[in-house]
Amino acid sequence: MLDTIRWTESGVIMLDQTALPREVRFVTCATYVEVADAIKTMIIRGAPAIGVAAAMGVALGMLKAPADGVDAYFDTVCRTLAATRPTAVNLFWAIDRMKRLYYEKVHRRSIKEVQTTLVNEALQVYLEDIAINKAIGRHGASLVPDGKTVLTHCNAGALATAGYGTALGVIRAAVASGKKIDVFADETRPFLQGARLTVWELQQDGIRTTLITDNMAGHFLHSGRIGCVVVGADRIAANGDVANKVGTYSVAVLAKENNVPFYVAAPISTLDLTLASGDQIPIEQRPATEVTEVFGVRVAPDGTDVQNPAFDITPARYVAGIITEKGVARPPYEESLPALSSPRPQPSESAGR
């Protein structure tokens, strides 16, 4: 697989996901403002990849920090990156991680030390993400029924992360464990992450993938062919409600109706346990032209009223399990999610209790 995102001397290099699969081209972001634009315009996308891009964006920004007013400049960098996309909590998680490091570890130290520390942290976020996805894959592989088809929605693959993927990581790990499975990819209107990105990505790995339009999901879920559904997430509330690409909710309801298990694969950094339920998750509204046009060609009459929420909320009751790097959370999620996400006690802490 090609790198989704890479830190280099000349800036942050991203595989341009707006051009795939027609063209494999890379964009170099030389400033934090360019990183913010790349997130907004979806050159890079997918919750974990957005988090990695934000961490790199903060580090990149600080390479050009002024001699005076460093704190104010740092806050501007963080605010600019935070104002890009509202739903994926990994964005805010990554910026908070950089903020904590800045204010708690290197505040008022030499600018050189600040820069080196923030760059190393961004690289650490990148490397951790790949390791986390492989762990998600290991935990999820056993849930995938052998000899069946996995249905997925949007792209929760290597392209949506630093590498390997969450939902597609589970599929990769299941294939690596010897399971004979294939994949159905919803095309995922209106941005077509399924058709353009998931199919392309799985083709690179030689995993057999069939493209279906979103409105065919019910037909195939009823057919008996689909062994399970695995999708990613942009934010998961404390009660297990899941925000993911719009259309996920419909797939989850259809899966339950047809007794097909519906799994969500996501890192712990996608949990937002400060929110009691999915109702509190902000949903990004995207431009109307994404709906009225297909690749720049207008398909709806002039003057059409449009709604374009980029995400929807799947209530926890439809979710059979949430696959994280620390294991699989099962209902009731109010109990299983905090248990998984809290740091495990060190042997010395638990000794004698």
Q: Which of 139, 171, 145, 182 is nearest to 259 (CA)?
A: 145
CA distances from 122 to 43, 99, 249, 257 (A): 19, 12, 33, 43
Q: What are residue 323's DSSP bridge partners? A: 265, 328
> Which member of 51, 140, 163, 232 binds ligand MRU (CB under 6 A)?
232
Question: With CB under 6 A as the contact rule, which of the stretches 21-29, 93-101, 232-240, 343-351 interacts with ligand MRU?
Answer: 232-240
Which CB sits closer to ligand MRU, 4 or 117?
A: 4
Site residues (CB under 6 A) for ligand MRU, limited to 295-314 = 310
Which CB sits closer to ligand MRU, 101 or 321?
A: 321
The residue with its CB nearest to ligand MRU is 232
> Which member of 156, 192, 228, 340 binds ligand MRU (CB under 6 A)?
156
Q: Does 86 bind ligand MRU (CB under 6 A)?
A: no
Tokens of 40: 């907004």
Q: Does 326 bind ligand MRU (CB under 6 A)?
A: no
In the three-class reduction of DSSP (H, G, I as helix; E, B as strand; rest coil), residue 164 is classed as coil
> Which member of 193, 198, 314, 336 binds ligand MRU (CB under 6 A)?
193
Q: Does 244 bind ligand MRU (CB under 6 A)?
A: yes
Q: Does 252 bind ligand MRU (CB under 6 A)?
A: no
Which residue do the tokens 């195939």 mark?
Answer: 220
SS (H, E, C) 60-89: HHHCCCCCCCHHHHHHHHHHHHHCCCCCCH
How many residues touch ligand MRU under the rule CB under 6 A: the total is 18
279 assigned to active site:
no
Tokens of 315: 């209530």
Residue pair 20/194 in contact by the 8 Å Cβ criterion: no
CA distances from 158 to 17, 29, 90, 205, 246 (A): 12, 20, 16, 11, 20
Residue pair 154/88 in contact by the 8 Å Cβ criterion: no
Which CB sits closer to ligand MRU, 101 or 268?
A: 268
Q: Does 245 bind ligand MRU (CB under 6 A)?
A: yes
Q: Does 154 bind ligand MRU (CB under 6 A)?
A: yes
The DSSP string of 254-281 is: HHHHTT--EEEE--GGGEETTSSSGGGS
Q: Does 48 bind ligand MRU (CB under 6 A)?
A: yes
- Give every CB contact of residue 305 below 8 A, 6+ residues apart in sequence: none
> Which member of 91, 160, 217, 329 binds ligand MRU (CB under 6 A)?
160
Instruction: Mark 2-21 as b/e (b = at least 16 C-beta within 10 Å).
Output: eebbbbeeebbbbbbbbebe
CA distances from 336 to 7, 167, 192, 294, 340 (A): 36, 20, 33, 42, 6
Site residues (CB under 6 A) for ligand MRU, limited to 257-276 = none
Which CB sits closer to ligand MRU, 62 or 217?
A: 217
Q: Does 60 bind ligand MRU (CB under 6 A)?
A: no
Q: Does 199 bind ligand MRU (CB under 6 A)?
A: no
Q: Does 233 bind ligand MRU (CB under 6 A)?
A: yes
> Which member of 29, 52, 78, 88 binds ligand MRU (CB under 6 A)?
88
> Annotated catalytic residue: which of 129, 234, 241, 272?
234
Residues in contact with ligand MRU by CB under 6 A are 45-48, 88, 154, 156, 160-161, 166, 193, 231-234, 244-245, 310
Q: Which positions are annotated as active-site residues?
A: 234
